[in-house]
Amino acid sequence: MAMAACVKVILGSVAFAIFWVLAVFPAVPCLPIGRTAGSLLGATLMVIFQVMTVDQAYESIDLPILVLLFGTMVVSGYLERADAFKYLGKLLTWKSKGAKDLIFRICLVSAVSSALFTNDTSCMVLTEFVLKIARENNLPPEPFLLALASSANIGSTATPIGNPQNLVIATQSGVSFWEFATGILPATILGVFFNALLLIFIYGDLLSVKKDQEDPTAGFVNGECVNSHQFSPATMGGHRVNSEPENHWFLNGAYWDHRDQPCSRRWKMQLWKSCVYLVVVGMLVSLLMGLNMSGTAITAALALMILDFKDAVPCLEKVSYSLLLFFCGMFVTVQGFNRTGIPSTLWELMEPYAKIDEISGLAILALVILILSNLVSNVPTVLLLGARMAASSALISPAFEKKAWLILAWVSTVAGNLSLLGSAANLIVCEQACRVPDMGYTLTFWKHLKFGVPSTLLVTAIGLMLLKS
pLDDT digits (tens, 9 = 90+) for 184-234: 999 999 999 999 999 999 988 777 755 444 443 333 333 333 333 333 332
Q: What was the pLDDT predicted at 241?
A: 34
pTM (predicted TM-score): 0.73
In a domain, 353, yes or no: yes
- Angle between helix axes 142-155 and 424-435 (nearest 10 degrees) is 150
3-state secondary structure of 320: coil
Q: What was the pLDDT predicted at 140?
A: 86
- DSSP 8-state secondary structure symbol assigned to residue 319: S
Q: Which residues contact 406 (CB under 8 A, 6 or more apart)?
A: 175, 180, 183, 184, 467
How many whole angstroms separate alpha carbon 72 and alpha carbon 75? 5
**Alpha-helical runs (H) found in 118-239:** 119-136, 142-155, 164-173, 177-202, 204-208, 223-227
- 358 φ/ψ sector (left φ>0, alpha ψ -120 to 50, else beta): beta
Radius of gyration over every alpha carbon of the chain, rounded to an integer in angstroms: 23
CB 20 within 8 A of CB 330: no
Beta carbons within 10 angstroms of residue 193's beta carbon = 17
CB 180 within 8 A of CB 161: no
CB 438 within 8 A of CB 221: no
Read off φ and ψ for residue 334, nearest 5 degrees: -65, -40
Beta bridge partners of 257: 248
Maximal CA-CA distance, the chain? 73
3-state secondary structure of 26: coil
How many whole angstroms separate alpha carbon 154 and alpha carbon 416? 9
Q: What was the pLDDT predicted at 440?
A: 66
3-state secondary structure of 224: helix
pLDDT per residue, tens digit, the chain (469 aa), is: 567 789 999 999 999 999 888 877 777 788 888 888 988 999 999 999 999 999 999 999 988 888 888 888 898 888 888 888 777 777 776 776 778 888 998 999 999 989 987 887 788 778 888 888 888 778 888 899 999 999 999 999 999 988 888 988 988 888 888 999 999 999 999 999 999 999 999 988 777 755 444 443 333 333 333 333 333 332 323 333 343 444 444 444 444 454 555 677 788 888 999 999 999 999 989 988 888 888 998 999 999 999 988 888 888 888 888 878 988 998 899 899 989 988 888 888 888 888 888 889 899 999 999 988 887 778 888 888 888 899 989 888 888 999 999 999 999 999 989 987 678 788 778 777 877 666 667 777 788 889 999 999 999 999 999 998 7
Q: What was the pLDDT predicted at 213?
A: 43
Q: What was the pLDDT predicted at 378?
A: 83
Beta carbons within 10 angstroms of residue 381's beta carbon = 24
- 341 φ/ψ sector (left φ>0, alpha ψ -120 to 50, else beta): left
3-state secondary structure of 355: coil
Domain coverage including residue 462 = 6-468
**Alpha-helical runs (H) found in 218-339:** 223-227, 263-288, 293-308, 313-316, 321-339
In a domain, 95, yes or no: yes
Q: Which residues contact 367 (CB under 8 A, 6 or more apart)?
A: none
Q: Which residues contact 58 (CB under 8 A, 6 or more apart)?
A: none
In a domain, 432, yes or no: yes
How many whole angstroms separate alpha carbon 327 and alpha carbon 292? 20
3-state secondary structure of 88: helix
Q: Which residues contact 19 (CB under 8 A, 6 or more apart)?
A: 38, 39, 41, 42, 43, 329, 330, 333
In a domain, 1, yes or no: no
Q: CA angle at residue 197 from 192 to 202, to 5 degrees?
A: 125
CB 167 within 8 A of CB 324: no
Question: What is the amino acid identity at position 354?
Answer: A
Mean pLDDT of the chain: 81
The alpha carbon of residue 318 and the mean position of all alpha carbons in its chain are separated, in whole angstroms, by: 16
- 147 φ/ψ sector (left φ>0, alpha ψ -120 to 50, else beta): alpha
Q: What was the pLDDT predicted at 245?
A: 43
pLDDT in tens, 156-186: 999 998 888 898 898 888 888 899 999 999 9
Question: How many separate domains does the chain show?
Answer: 1
Measured CA distances, 431 to 60, 232, 436 (Å): 32, 15, 9
Q: What was the pLDDT predicted at 210?
A: 53
Q: What was the pLDDT predicted at 3?
A: 77
Helix H or strand E segment including 249: strand 248-251
Read off φ and ψ for residue 463, nearest 5 degrees: -65, -40
